[in-house]
A and B are shown apart, each in its own frame.
Chain A
Amino acid sequence: MIFEPVIGLEIHVELKTKSKMFSNGPVTYGKDANTQTVPLDLAFPGTLPTVNKQGVVYAIRVCHALHMKIDNELHFDRKNYFYSDLPKGYQITQDKRPIGSDGYLTIEINGKEKKIGIERLHIEEDTCKQLHFKDFTLLNYNRAGTPLIEIVSRPELRSGEEAMKYVEKIRSIVVFSNVSDGKMEEGSLRCDVNVSIREKGSEKFGTKVEIKNINSISYIQKAIDFEVERQSKIIENGGEVLQETRRYDDAKKETLPMRLKTDSVDYKYYPEANITPIKLSDEFIKNAIESCPELAESKLKRYMSEYGLNDYDASLLVSDKEISEYYDACTKFTNAYKLLANWVNVDVLGYLNKNNIVISNFPMSPEHLGGLVNLVAKNDVSSNQAREIFTKMIEENVDALKAKQILGISSQISDESMILNVINEVLKENPQSIIDYKEGKGRALGFMIGQVMKKTQGKVNPKLTNDLLLEELKRR
């Protein structure tokens, strides 16, 4: 039997607004427990929710990036259930009218584009954080009320790889649009995966298993691949897949059962009467979209068409928002875009990796890097010299010219007539080399360049020297 996996994803994204979705409590990360709350976050009787405008703006940005229909009225509902992490005993969410519906995003699989349908995007609020111990549980309400958007895909993903690419794309969108940190490790992007398998060609869905608590993008693929394999084996052996929730154990590299899903919980959704429907004007929606920073996809295209970068370099730059922003900042100081991309992707990234830091802590200003790239571009220094200068610039916190001066590097000679004079001198002194060259002895060329270097203490531009010497030899 040939099996086909059917995968759907529910992604929760924490929005990095200043205050919470329905209160003026601050949104922070890593502060002391229970210091970032106001009465509403702990559901004090009589407190009332007020909608965070910026949260709505952020949701609209993501809706737009996902080609969704954006509702022009905001409606909120209550999702009722009792749980120890839920302050009010209900969560304010959007059930009947999510702000975004019917969208898609495009991923690339084996060089081919594939559209993945997105059913809905809705705004809601986060719960408090629990820390379980053997005999007790600690509750931290700092997170309670943090704005969330939930993005629900259609079950159109067919492999772990597709799912991973889908999540990468979502993450890129929320990070580039400045709405979230998108860090799975810190929980600002959380992903629940629904996996079932069915016989290829079948229209019917198999029994769905939910995988929770996946805390990195690479585990998404691993968890799904494992789960597909597990379910396939069960069915091949004549067994039945149980409807359950599982978690991914990254040490064991397998999914483990958490709980059986019997009848699904009845959340008794009904409209939130404390927030009357809010009309979103066309202008508000337009502003939300137009104020959105440039997304990765558009940057990639721009880098390729305007800056002439290749797909590899451009993709590498936009794989990280801050790095692409650093690159953008450097372009204000140099026009050598391709060379600049090379320097950022090789030398800057190399430095970050070696020192295990992020770009925001990279000590060289975009202006300084731009200056260095300019020196290389006009052949003032060789590549090797430029690398030395790069290191010195960081050590001394100086610009390229100053570092060059400290290192005692003099500028390369790129004056053609001057180089030509030396070449002619060398040719005159070494007639045998010319003959050797014409007879095809490759070493002769290297020798003659060496002589030119010697006469100029290595200051001539090597490439230019090579070109001029070849031209000169042709004439003899």
Chain B
Amino acid sequence: MNYRELSIDELHELLVSKKVTPLDLAKEAIALAKADTNNAFEYIMEKEALEAAEALGEPEANNPLWGIPFVIKDNFSTKGVPTTGSSNILKGYVPVFDATVVEKLKAAKAIAIGKTTLDELAMGGSGITGHLGRTYNPWDRSHSRIVGGSSCGSAAATSDGFVPFALGSDTGDSTRKPASHAGLIGFKPTWSRISRFGLFPFAPSLDTVGIFSRNVKDCAYVLNALAGRDEKDSTSSTKPVEDYAKDIEKENKNYKIAVIKEIEDSISNNVVKDAFKKSVEDLKKAGYQVDYVHVSNELLLTLFPTYFVISCAEATSNNANMDGIKFGPLSEGKTFEEVMLNARTKGFGELIKRRFVIGSFALMKENQNELFVRAQKNRRRIVDAINDILREYNFIYLPAAPGIAPKFDDASDKLSDEYLIADNHLCIANFAGLPSLTLPIGFEDGMPFGANITGRAFEDKDVLKISYEIEKLTGLKNLVAKGGQK
């Protein structure tokens, strides 16, 4: 039987009625993972998954994740299972503990199928910088398009229908951008809503656990399992959690939605623009207030440099533990400096070395005020501008990306407004720690593209509810890549 297009609700019904067993699902997912042609996997947890599936016992009618297979981005620590962050520097590393999110999904009796590829240590947006090379977009059978990153493997595996949901991480847009390229739901909840314990840090002030799914309600189920205070992450929120799936279908016509005109205007692709405009019209017709609001281009042009300075600065220090002494390849050297230099030179890829240098440069005493501190101050300006909008509106609604997934050899003009604004605005939600969700709204040349809805901090449930509404209006749910199917 083929379960790859089913939602969690549908799978759950089959499991509870015992028409299918967790082992059936795990076996199918593993078979699909083994036949994967998109370079989505770092490691397939065949033995672990089959054992876990066999050990499940009686179905739990009130636990929608019972027996459901999923995959894990390889920057989450998994006990006894190799975890590389798709970097050579962690080749052969087998953690001794589970990340809290992994522990929680195990406790919910979901079945982990494998560890997925990413841009090296989550730094990148293309899915090409991991140590296993390019990860391909399953929607494009010719393997000429990126699926996006950094959570490339999780996006590919979910959109290819191997599993109904996946763990990602999101520092700038690493879950939400690939979701747009892969026709998926990509959700970055409020910062601190989900414990980061066991997630390899990239930039802790921005890092958030991300969720991929193929429909909004599935995403809510996963958030239900993951949200909550964790004593191991002192930044995790003590605010009570909600049942994010309950009454998700109940409409709230009082929601007010803002669209930032300057961001929409920075897009040149008319297919994307028209689809987005149509979606706005549909929301209005459905009875929601949608208004255009303004944020100056001058401020929007600072998004990318601000993100880059802050994230690189934090990244350089977060990865300083990989020095060839505890982590990283054992290297020769007469002094400890030589050992470290050799290990890091050998272990890290060129692109992230460049980020470390930039981050280090930004933190140097003579540059810190001009670069890092200035970026922090500008982050505050951006957050203030966004929160001003969110005081009046529940959500900000925008195209998630300027177009469909680019081809590997597409070069974008890194100084154009389109790149700096339309391709990089999703980091706003990371700056402000806001819940932010990408979902599909249309296709061009058979490739999906998405829109993004960002809400107020801790109003994750409202973000899911309005997303559910939009999903209803577009009718785009449970998409599975056609290109990838043989």
Contacts and interface: CB of A to CB of B under 8 A. Distances in A.
Interface string A84-106: 10011110000000000000000
Contacts of B96: 39, 44
Contacts of A47: 197-198
Given A39-B96, A83-B336, A268-B364, A89 B320 contact: yes
Contact of A88 (B97, B321, B337): B321
B233 A48 contact: yes
B317 A274 contact: no
A51 B234 contact: yes
Contacts of A273: 203-205, 235, 314
Contacts of A82: 320, 323, 336-337, 340
Contact of B204 (A44, A137, A274): A274
Chain B CB within 10 A, most for which of A42, A46, A137, A270: A46
A78 B321 contact: no
A274 B317 CA distance: 12
A274 B372 contact: no
A50 B204 contact: no
Chain B CB within 10 A, most for which of A43, A83, A88, A268: A268
A80 B337 CA distance: 15
Chain B CB within 10 A, most for which of A48, A80, A137: A48
Contact of B232 (A43, A45, A48, A87): A48
Given A47-B197, A273-B204, A84 B336 contact: yes
A268 B368 CA distance: 8
Interface of B: 76-77, 83, 85, 90, 93, 95-97, 99, 196-201, 203-205, 231-235, 313-314, 316-317, 319-323, 325-327, 336-337, 339-340, 360, 363-365, 368, 372
A276 interface: yes
A84 B325 contact: yes
30 contacts: A39-B96, A42-B326, A43-B321, A45-B85, A45-B93, A45-B322, A46-B76, A46-B77, A46-B196, A46-B198, A46-B201, A47-B198, A48-B234, A49-B234, A50-B232, A50-B234, A80-B320, A80-B363, A82-B336, A82-B340, A83-B336, A84-B336, A89-B323, A90-B317, A266-B365, A268-B360, A273-B204, A273-B235, A273-B314, A274-B234
Nearest to A267: B365
A444 interface: no
Contact of B365 (A39, A46, A78, A268): A268
A127 to B, nearest CB: 12
Interface in A392-432: none
A352 B97 CA distance: 50
Interface string A248-292: 000000000000000000101010011110000000000000000
Nearest to B344: A82
A218 to B, nearest CB: 33
A276 B316 CA distance: 20
* A interface, size bucket: 20 to 34
Contacts of A48: 196-197, 232-235
A139 B326 CA distance: 10
A263 B99 CA distance: 42
A44 B79 CA distance: 12
Contacts of B339: 84
Contacts, number: 97
B165 to A, nearest CB: 21
Contacts of A83: 336
Give the dominant DSSP class at B's interface. loop
Given A45-B321, A46-B77, A275-B235, A270 B327 contact: no
A268 B90 CA distance: 26
Contact of A270 (B99, B235, B326, B372): B372
Interface in A46-77: 46-51
Contacts of B97: 39, 44
Given A82-B337, A89-B320, A50 B231 contact: yes
A84 B360 CA distance: 19
A276 B196 CA distance: 14
B93 to A, nearest CB: 8
Given A87-B326, A89-B320, A270-B363, A45 B77 contact: yes
Contacts of A276: 234-235
B363 A268 contact: yes
B95 A44 contact: yes
A268 B367 CA distance: 10
Nearest to A51: B234
A280 B234 CA distance: 15
B340 to A, nearest CB: 6
Given A45-B77, A46-B76, A275 B234 contact: yes
Contacts of B95: 44-46
Which 9 pairs between the two chains have the least Cβ-Cβ distance? Answer: A89-B320, A43-B321, A268-B363, A84-B336, A273-B205, A273-B204, A46-B198, A46-B77, A45-B200
Given A82-B320, A270-B313, A270-B372, A45 B336 contact: no
B321 A87 contact: yes
A425 to B, nearest CB: 85
Nearest to B326: A42
Contacts of A42: 326
A160 B365 CA distance: 34
A275 B233 CA distance: 9
Contact of B320 (A88, A270, A275): A88
A78 B321 CA distance: 13
Nearest to B98: A46
Contacts of B313: 270
A43 B198 CA distance: 12
Given A268-B364, A276-B235, A44 B320 contact: no
Given A43-B321, A270-B363, 5 more contacts: A44-B95, A45-B77, A46-B201, A84-B325, A88-B320
B336 A43 contact: no
Contacts of A43: 321, 326-327
A34 to B, nearest CB: 11
Nearest to A141: B326
Given A47-B197, A48-B197, A89-B317, A270 B234 contact: no
Contacts of B372: 270
Contacts of A39: 96-97
Contacts of B205: 273
A51 B233 CA distance: 10
Contacts of B85: 45
Nearest to A272: B204
A42 B97 CA distance: 13
A69 B142 CA distance: 67
B368 A44 contact: no
A137 B333 CA distance: 12
